[in-house]
Structure 1
Amino acid sequence: MKINLKPENEIERLQVLKDYAILDSLSEQEYDSIAQLASFICGTPIALVNLIDEDRQWFKSKVGINVSETSRELSFCQYTILGDDVFEVQNATENKLFSENPLVTGSPNIRFYAGAPLRTRNGFNMGSLCVIDTEPRALNVEQKNALKLLADQVVALLDSRKKHLDFLESQKEIQNFIELSKDLVCIANVNGLFYKVNPAFTKVLGYSKEELEGTPFIDLVHPDDLAQTYKEVEKLSKGELTISFENRYRCKSGDYIILSWNTSPEPNTGNLYCIARNVTKEKEAEQHLIDGNNLLEESQHIAKIGSWKFNLVTNDLVWSEGHYRIFELDQLPSDQLYKEYRSRIHTDDLVKLDQVSEDVIQTGKDFKIKYRIVFPDQRVKHILEIGQPFKNEKGEVIELKGIIQDVTEITLAEQKIIQKSKEIRDIRSALDESAIVSISDQQGLLTYVNDNFCSISKYTKDELIGKDQRTITGHFPKAFAKQILKTIVNGNVWKGEMRNLAKDGSYYWEKATIVPFLDEKNKPYQYISISTDITDQKNAEANLQSALLNLGKKNNELDQFAYVVSHDLKAPLRAINNLSEWIVEDMPDMPEAVSANFDLLRGRVLRMENLINGVLEYSRIGRTEIEKEKIDLKLMLNQIIDSIVPKQGFEITIGENFPVIESERILLQQVFSNLISNAVKYSDKPVGKIDCQYKALPSFHQFSIKDNGPGIAIEYHKKVFKVFQTIEARDVKESTGIGLSIVKKIIEEKGGSIHIESEENKGCSFIFTFPK
Structure 2
Amino acid sequence: MINIPVPVNEKERLKALDDYEILDTLSENEFDRITELASIICDVPISLVSLVDEKRQWFKSVLGLDVRETSRDISFCRYAIMNSNLMEINDATKDLRFKANTLVTGAPDIRFYAGYPLIDPNGHALGTLCVIDREPRLLNAKQKRAMQLLAEEVIVLIVERRQKQQLQSFEKIFNLSNDLVFVGGEDGFFKKVNPAFKRVLGWEEDHLLHTSTFEFIHPDDIESTVTQLEKLSKGEPTVNFLQRFKSITGEYRTIQWTSTPEASTGNIFGIGRDVTEKIKLEKVLARTSEMLERTNTVARVGGWEFDLQKQTLYWTPVTKEIHGVPADFTPNLVDAIDFYKIGESRDKMAEAINRAVTNGIPWSLELQIANAKGKDLWVRALGNVEFTNGVCKRLYGTFQDIDDYKRTELALMRAVTTQKKLNEELKVQASLVQKQDKTIQDIQEFKFLADSIPEIIWTSNPDGSTDYYNRYWFDYTGLTLEETKAFGWPTVLHLDDIEKDGNDWRHCLATGTPYESEVRFRRKSDGVYRWHLSRALPMKNDKGEVVKWFGSCTDIDEYKRALNLENKISQFEDFNRIIAHNLRGPAGSIGMLLDMIAGEDDTAEKENLLTMLKTSSLTLNETLNELMKVLEVRNNKNMTYDLCYLPEMVNVTDAMLKGQIAAKKATITTALQVSNMKFPKMYLESIFYNMVSNSLKYSKPDAAPQINIASKIVDGRVVLVFSDNGLGIDLSRHGQNMFKLNSVFHKGYDSKGVGLFMTKTQIETFGGKITVESEPNVGTTFTIVF
Q: TM-score, normalised by structure 2?
A: 0.35
Q: Which has the larger radius of gyration?
A: 1
